[in-house]
Amino acid sequence: MEKEIHDLWREVRELSLGTEIDRLDTPPSPIQFIRDYVSQSKPCVISKAISHWPALKLWSDPSYLAASLSDDLVSLHLTPNGSADAVTPMNHHDGNTENLCFASAHVEKLLFTEALHAVKSSCKGRNVAYLQQQNDCFRTEYSNVCLDCDGDIAWATEALGCSPEAVNLWIGTDLSVTSFHKDHYENLYAVVSGEKHFLLLPPTDVHRLYVQEYPVANYSYNRDSEEFKLELEQPMKYVPWCSVDPYPSPEKEASERSKFPLFFDGPKPFHCTVKAGEILYLPSMWFHHVSQTQGDGGYTIAVNYWYDMQFDVKYAYFNFLQSVPYESSSLISKLSGREDEDSESSDAEKGTTVPVFSCALEACA
């Protein structure tokens, strides 16, 4: 089986994906988009796709957003390290990797001007703030600036035959990083200010990311003491999540390479930078890790459009591939101290398991 899995990684790249993400100088026609990219589950970056948006000019000045949204309550995500919805030691101070959890951010509702100041004042190791909420927040919390962008991506809407299920706004700094994950949506990701840096792996590379179930925990934040506390959800709940950090610190690199050889020794992930004015088409179920560089206004700002994916034969193929035992699965058992591979069989003993497909709304970008 080892040879067949490795051949699959190679053949997907040779027969379909190539070695680099396609870049289009202008938006594709709906037919080109569905034929060359959606049907082939192939990402691409599109230039000059949002050059007509007023947001490109207006949002580079934070005072414009502050004035437009001054009376609006928005969702602010807070973590001590800029890594929300990520695998984290239960005690983030000691770096102990033996007791890991899936940590979600502390979320507060604040006036936009206060929240924007918190983002600007972020300090890694103490308090990192990120404006985002993956519940169609752009059309709800930020409705006063909705007209600065298109309500959908017209050629994508025509090609996919539906309107976006959700449109989300993201405002952060380079301190916020998104861990490897996948979403069950066709994602059109438009950068308005700054740059987004994506590492991408196709669904066929699922074994390389050492997906493991982790107990769910949530940060709570005390404003008086400025301290975070990480608490496990009760009753216990588990979520499958990717274990690999593609950019380990120098002191951890050797250990990480030893634990996750399929990732570090396998084909290199695709890398692309999406600049202001560009759109990334990220096909459903592609694994992605995201970092960012802020623009002239001091923030990275993006709007993404989630279109429902088709739960068709592609989804069936992925589920089958994911079920195939391979080296990573055996290593996961050793790392987690569990012999069984069937997470559903032990629900009664360990709590509730969150299905894989529910993770689409857990991740940030």
Tell whether the torsion through CA atoms of 306, 308, 314 and 318 is positive or negative. Answer: positive
* Amino acid code (one letter) for 148: D
| Structural domains of the chain, count | 1
pLDDT at site 364 = 44
User: Does a structural domain hold residue 315?
Assistant: yes
Token pair for 188: 């059109």
pLDDT at site 42 = 97
> Domain holding 66: CATH number?
2.60.120.10
Alpha helices in the chain (DSSP H): 2-12, 30-33, 55-58, 62-68, 112-120, 154-160, 250-259, 261-264, 313-323, 327-336, 347-350
User: Does a structural domain hold residue 48?
Assistant: yes
User: Does a structural domain hold residue 337?
Assistant: no
User: Does a structural domain hold residue 190?
Assistant: yes
Parent domain of 233: 1-327
Q: Say if CB 230 and CB 103 are below 8 A apart.
A: yes
Between strands 100-104 and 212-222, the pairing is parallel
User: Does a structural domain hold residue 360?
Assistant: no
CB count, 10 Å around CB of 123? 11
Per-residue pLDDT of the chain (365 residues; tens, 9 = 90+): 788 888 999 999 999 999 999 999 999 999 999 999 999 999 999 999 999 999 999 998 989 999 999 999 999 999 999 998 999 998 754 444 468 999 999 999 999 999 999 999 999 888 999 999 989 999 999 999 999 999 999 999 999 999 999 999 999 999 999 999 999 999 999 999 999 999 999 999 999 999 999 999 999 999 888 899 999 999 999 999 999 999 999 999 999 999 999 999 999 999 999 999 999 999 999 999 999 999 988 999 999 999 999 888 888 988 898 888 876 444 444 444 433 434 333 333 334 443 333 343 334 45
